[in-house]
Amino acid sequence: MVKVLHIVGARPQFVKLSPLYNCMKKNNFKQKILHTGQHYDQNMSKIFFSKFNIPMPDFNLNINQLNHGAMTGRMIEMIEKVLILEDLDYIIVYGDTNSTLAGSIASKKLRKKIIHVEAGVRNYDKFMPEEINRVLTDRISDLLFCSSLESYNNLVKEGYKKLDCKFHNVGDIMFENIIRADISQSTLKNSNKILFTCHRQKNIEKNSLKNIIEAINELSSKYEIIFPAHPSTKKRLDEFNIRCNFKILNPISHDEILRLIMQSKYVITDSGGIVKEAYWLKKPSLSILKSPVWPELININASINSQPIKQMILESFNNLKKIKSFKEKIFGDGRSSQKMVNIILEDFNNTISHED
């Protein structure tokens, strides 16, 4: 029996965990979940476990509201204590958060095998915390699962074929949630809504956040802005006394996010997950980042990227109406979790045979 520990801590990781956990359950894996507590708002963590049919975590570290160094260091320390006591074959980390990096470092120091779900993502901004996390995690992982051919090719270009690891393009696991979601009746004709989200560290610094909100304020004179605010973003808006000419909502569930995407005419976000979901649901999106997380979407004209500068945001937004087609299967066929399970089982059996 394969024994795994899933390490999660943020909304997108719960979304990715769901299909893999349930597929592993069908294949008789022994699984435990460790929640670092990185997202501490109930609407951003607890509700996701119940919505996605995942059991509550076996371990909850409740580590949050700290600077990056303190948060990551505390997580490494606490995760290590769990790993020492557990008999595990693999540690599974997701995406690019501090929880991902901490779980990887703690695991590698104890010589545990690491699986990285959503490996190979690059936007080549070395000052972006998520980029640091994903590059370092990839470098010490044993099995790397890529969401797209572009991510796979990034690893090839970086010389991963020469390293002691295996990497595979299995498609994007988040697509499985889109396929299963009950959102068929959510589309609105002649919608005047824009779903807007903003949470990246660079985007909630004073100058960037001021530029972004000023652009959205201008759009709010013509569109209804739907803004479920991340707790960190809400805190910064208050701290910098930045005024929104639109209503600020509390964090909402993943199902509600999908419904709002369907009900909106456009999506403006700095979330790598939401920009993919907008693509799958055939909604034009504008990502606000120095460099896009998913350049493949920009390359096929399914999304547009803008730096966090007011005039650039407005000019880029005006080009969204030109987006009319959405090429299929850039991120796989919706069977990522089973592909991952098959590869893990093969790796596990090969390891056992070599030990014998």
| 49-93 confidence digits (pLDDT tens) | 777 788 999 999 988 878 889 999 999 999 999 999 999 999 999
pLDDT greater than 80 at residue 206: yes
**CA pair distance 325, 284, nearest whole angstrom:** 9
For residue 207, give both structure tokens: 């100058």
Report the amino acid identity of residue 347: D
**CA pair distance 293, 270, nearest whole angstrom:** 9
Mean pLDDT of the chain: 92
Q: What are the sequence ranges of the domains in the chain? A: 3-174+332-355, 193-322
**CA pair distance 122, 133, nearest whole angstrom:** 11
- Exposure pattern of 171-187 as b/e (b: 16+ CB <10 Å)? bbbbbbbbeebebeebe
| 143-164 confidence digits (pLDDT tens) | 999 999 999 999 999 999 999 9
- CA dihedral for 32, 36, 38, 44, sign (positive or negative): positive
For residue 8, give both structure tokens: 């999660």
Q: Which of 6, 39, 199, 230 is catalytic?
A: 199
pLDDT greater at residue 124 or residue 159: 159
| Domain 3-174+332-355 classification at class level | alpha beta
What is the predicted pLDDT for the residue at 64? 83
Report in angstroms the alpha-carbon separations of 236 from 120, 132, 211. Answer: 31, 23, 13
* Cα distance between the two ends of the chain: 16
Lowest mean per-residue pLDDT among 14-23, 281-290, 330-339, 345-354: 345-354
Report the amino acid identity of residue 291: S
What is the predicted pLDDT for the residue at 336? 97
- The model carries a pTM of 0.91
What is the predicted pLDDT for the residue at 188? 66
What is the predicted pLDDT for the residue at 41? 55
User: Per-residue pLDDT averaged across 245-264, rounded?
Assistant: 91
168 is catalytic: no
Give residue 44's pLDDT band: very low, low, confident or very high (50, 70, 90).
Answer: very low
| 161-190 confidence digits (pLDDT tens) | 999 999 999 999 999 988 887 665 566 667
What is the predicted pLDDT for the residue at 209? 98
pLDDT greater than 50 at residue 38: yes
Domain 193-322: CATH superfamily is Glycogen Phosphorylase B; (3.40.50.2000)
pLDDT greater than 80 at residue 265: yes
